[in-house]
Structure 1
Amino acid sequence: MGWTPPQRAAWTETLVAGDIPPLTDDLDRPFVAEVLIGEARGRTGLTDLGEGDPDFREGLDRLLYSLEHEANLDRVGRWWAHTWVARLLDVRLQIARYVQDDPGVLDEAIERPIFVTGGPRTGTSILHALLAQDPANRVPTTWEFLRPVPPPEPRTRAVDPRIALAEREIRFITAAVPVMDAIHDKSGTLPKECISAHALAFRSEDFTGQFAIPGYAAWLAECDMRPAYTYHRLVLQILQRRTPGDTRWVLKSPAHLLTLDALVDVYPDARLAVTHRDPLTVLASLSSLIATIHHAYGNPSDIRDVARTQTDLWCTAYDRLTAFRDAGRIAESDWHDSAYADFMRDPIAVVRELYATFGLDLDGEAERRMRDHLAARPQGRHGRHTYSFDDLGLDRAGIRSRLTDYQKRFRVPTEEI
């Protein structure tokens, strides 16, 4: 039958039609960096965007150009893009002021962080969420990565008013396309991907995952990602500033596969937990997800075009993972590999193996919390995400051939799809 875009909520069509003046008139204005920066300075009363880090302007300018000239957004998408960029600029201003007022934050040590990575749709999110149940681990939540200033206070972290702000922002896409709940769980208090911190440096797969912006995507694929990881580290330093005791950060993003060299340049003592799944299944699920997101923002994409773009991106990612692993920049004792099928069969056993590999203790209370988390969130509770590789218009045998080295190197089983 082929992939068809899901139904958008009725309010989106009202907004697109311009039936909510004067709001809709403002949504047609162009994406201009100096205008958006000026507005952010006016909102916050702050002026320093971190001009000591000029790299962010190149990413901002390229992003705004692609949003204006490539993304083909309707008013829903333009409103969301304006809102998102505005929040990023506000937070950069707040971070620069915080560092000015508390320069000691730059001395905060980020030691032996664990990065969960692997192809999209391979179980990285649920593994990250399970590791978050161990009180010995510190996992950044959505609201913390979206609004890290001021640093959270331990006694009020669970009721911080920024949780509601983050919830409202990240639930926008579900309000536009309700079926998104069945595809990817979202909440202001759930663990958040590192790409949200990278977005503050305007070098992030977060943008390319939400908008069809090929010019920006091509630049991002080749740009120096160390500024993004450096800013990511600064965000972690701020988040832990008021947290006493040792902090063992556990972080996550599939996009790390594309930028492992930059990650290790900034975090030379990193440990990496990599999830693996048949890449053809990954491409089918991911292409459906991204085509749905594009549809939410009024940029109806042909899933076959999305699939071709994602195939090139993730074949590159798997090639980079293989080359980086073989280069030996990280000791084998600092790697942990897990298969999606094994994780689905016995997730706690995979967690135990991860802890053993990294020389960590998994106590009974942490394991109990992990089991309770799984029991409270059964797979498919929001509905099923259905997808088919046949919808992608790709040469199955050709793609399989491109990924042979990866599957052999990491013993990734082939699935029926």
Structure 2
Amino acid sequence: MRVADLLATLAGRGVLPEVAERDRPLERCLTARARIRGRIGERQLRLLSEDHWYDSREIWRLAECAPGLGPLAGPADAAHWCRSLLVGIGRSGSASARATSKSLHNERSVCNLPRDQWRPVRLMDCSRQSRARRGMRQVRSRHATSCRMDQEIGPPTDQPGAPFGLDSVYAAAQRSRDDASPVKPCFLPAYRRLIESLAEEADLTPTGVAVTRSRLVFSLVNQLKVRELVESSCIDPELWGDDAVFVLGLPGTGLHRLQRLLNEHSALNIPTLWEILSPTSEWRPRRHQALSDDPFEHALWAHLGQHDSFRAPDLGAPYGDHLLLTYAFHTPSASLEYRIPTYADWLQAQDASEAYRFHRYALAAILDRVRGGTPLLVNEFHSLKLPALLSAYPHARVIRVHRDPLVSLSNVASISTLRRQAWSHRVDPREVTAEWARRLTAVLNEPGGYSEALPGHEVLDVTYPEVVETPLLTVRRICDFLRIPLPTGIERRVLEQCDQFPCEPGAVDTYFCLDEEALPESFREQRAMYCQRWGLPGS
């Protein structure tokens, strides 16, 4: 079937307007597309204009129904419905449009409209369509390419009155989604482990309980929104993130400096705080807009703002992507703010491949609306689950930043202590230090882990002293590694950015003064070998 024949059939039924020129050269269409804003890119236009052949016999066989007369026969029965739908879109927010959207929420198609105006297009009988979808899921599962995450869905059973119980949190999440279709939550084993640790070990203050519950609702809302987009085929995660670059370090390495330097390059796309907080939102804040009253960051930075060494980031500033894993309840960064050792130990022993597959879904939702440049994600906690990261991003390029583990431990222990004080009745700095020393030792000692070679992946190793002492040379090395040019204007902006480092978000100048002899012997041994291998001070 030719796209032109489908458009002509729809125009003949009064669904679309008549087109004066039937045929145009592809290059002319590409030039015209570049002059207007919209969700259709060059790749999508080429998919419509160039011949593609697909064998769908297996789909119809599994669906147990005949193909029928074809797509061109569908508009004859659906023309009236399509015309009324287009009228409903014109009346944005009208009752008729909302009623149509609510009754057919599972039958969405991607079109050149803002996401909040997507409406269903139904060209086949519902029963046949549902059977075809079941057939598609069977084919996808056979090839291990399914976008669904049903294997971790369980019954939402809670204890009555539990503040973090799944029943109440899921109900609050559904209310926040504005008449959206019900989607079952995933990653329930991780959720249950997390709330058990929060209830039994975190010793939360009343404010901590309220903020934590809001965060759980917020995480579940984002999880459901992202999965709904992907599972309804509105976004294909295979099209996004394949060229992603990850900047890693041990927890406490301090990657904000390098992140801000690389953010000056227009060929790199680093997600901002708002994009991480709302991966499915169309709204974009101004570059220097202050934090809104969101449950994740506003309350935390209000507490940290009492300390001179902390300054809250802007919503439009580059930010770490650890929150994308938080929406799947699989993030080690939760231990920064909560005393939850049982959950953290359980999480360290789990295979995080499914959580990172969701991470790719959320990144695809961001990149689908914020396009341009190579995706660059900066996060210290990916080093704790590097094999799972590379399983979800098999073609990822990795930049590892190496720093003395003793300094990293001092940094992460001090930051964790300050953050836990925001929500907990009691915080013991010695206990925090011992906990993070144990985790860093496990990372350094893991076979095939962070400090080992990564066969099949492009890896660039830099040291933190290089980032501080020769920032421009370090940026040049990274650009050569990524095979992107470094114009003179960007070099000048990089040097200007270096003057602002004392005020970087989250920077801490006064760390714990750790007694190295009091640290576990296993940590000291791993630290000595690590520093010697990478030529770091302290070897």
Question: If the TM-score is normalised by the length of the shorter chain, which range does it land in?
Answer: 0.7 to 0.9
2:507 & 2:357 partners in 1: Cα distance?
38
Q: Which residue of 1 aligns with 2:333?
A: 206
Cα shift readout 1:73-112 (whole Å, capped 9, x = no counterpart): 0112111101111111122232233335552444523232
Q: SS in structure 2 opposite 1:250?
A: strand
2:293 & 2:443 partners in 1: Cα distance?
30
Is 2:486 the counterpart of 1:362? yes
Higher percent of residues as helix: 1
Is 2:513 the counterpart of 1:389? yes
Whichever of the two has the greater Rg, that structure is 2
Is 2:319 the counterpart of 1:192? yes
Is 2:281 the counterpart of 1:145? no
Cα shift at 1:371: 2.4
Cα shift at 1:353: 1.4
Q: Which residue of 2 aligns with 1:59?
A: 190
Alignment of 1:29-68 (within 5 A): 30-44=163-177, 45-49=179-183, 51=185, 54=186, 56-68=187-199
Cα shift readout 1:276-329 (whole Å, capped 9, x = no counterpart): 111111111211111111111124221111111100101111233865654542
Alignment of 1:303-342 (within 5 A): 303-320=429-446, 323=449, 326-331=452-457, 334-342=458-466
Q: SS in structure 1 opposite 2:275?
A: helix
CA 1:320/1:192 → structure 2, altered by over 3 Å: closer, same or farther?
farther
Maintained 8 Å contact 1:176/1:296: yes
Question: Which amino acid letter does the alignment assign opposite residue 166 of structure 2?
Answer: A
RMSD of Structure 2 on Structure 1 (CA): 2.9
Maintained 8 Å contact 1:75/1:298: no
Alignment of 1:176-187 (within 5 A): 176-180=303-307, 182-183=309-310, 186-187=313-314
Cα shift readout 1:167-221 (whole Å, capped 9, x = no counterpart): 7741312322434561575332222222110011110023122100111101110
Q: Which residue of 2 aligns with 1:242?
A: 369
Structure 1: 5+ residue stretches without partners: 1-27
Is 2:537 the counterpart of 1:410? no
Alignment of 1:270-309 (within 5 A): 270-309=396-435
Maintained 8 Å contact 2:247/2:377: yes
CA 1:101/1:338 → structure 2, altered by over 3 Å: closer, same or farther?
same
1:376 & 1:313 partners in 2: Cα distance?
32
Cα shift at 1:62: 1.2
CA 1:400/1:161 → structure 2, altered by over 3 Å: closer, same or farther?
closer
CA 1:340/1:72 → structure 2, altered by over 3 Å: closer, same or farther?
same
Maintained 8 Å contact 1:170/1:188: no
Q: Which residue of 2 aligns with 1:22?
A: none
Q: Which has the higher contact order (CA 8 A, sep 6+)?
A: 1
CA 1:398/1:99 → structure 2, altered by over 3 Å: closer, same or farther?
closer
2:333 & 2:266 partners in 1: Cα distance?
28
Is 2:359 the counterpart of 1:232? yes
Is 2:298 the counterpart of 1:171? yes
1:139 & 1:328 partners in 2: Cα distance?
23
Question: Which amino acid letter does the alignment assign opposite residue 237 of structure 1?
Answer: A
Q: Which residue of 1 aligns with 2:89?
A: none
Q: SS in structure 2 opposite 1:116?
A: strand
Q: Which residue of 2 aligns with 1:103?
A: 234
CA 1:323/1:200 → structure 2, altered by over 3 Å: closer, same or farther?
closer
CA 1:310/1:325 → structure 2, altered by over 3 Å: closer, same or farther?
closer
Cα shift readout 1:119-168 (whole Å, capped 9, x = no counterpart): 2332312212221221111111111111111356xxxx343999753777
Question: Which amino acid letter does the alignment assign opposite residue 46 of structure 1?
Answer: A
CA 1:222/1:112 → structure 2, altered by over 3 Å: closer, same or farther?
same
Maintained 8 Å contact 1:31/1:64: yes
CA 1:158/1:374 → structure 2, altered by over 3 Å: closer, same or farther?
farther
Q: SS in structure 1 opposite 2:420?
A: helix
CA 1:280/1:160 → structure 2, altered by over 3 Å: closer, same or farther?
closer
Maintained 8 Å contact 1:142/1:166: no
2:512 & 2:453 partners in 1: Cα distance?
35
1:171 & 1:236 partners in 2: Cα distance?
22
1:249 & 1:305 partners in 2: Cα distance?
37
Q: Which residue of 1 aligns with 2:475?
A: 351
Q: Which residue of 2 aligns with 1:3?
A: none
Is 2:263 the counterpart of 1:136? no
1:224 & 1:398 partners in 2: Cα distance?
24
CA 1:99/1:112 → structure 2, altered by over 3 Å: closer, same or farther?
closer
2:239 & 2:374 partners in 1: Cα distance?
13
Q: What TM-score, normalized by structure 1, do the two folds share?
A: 0.81
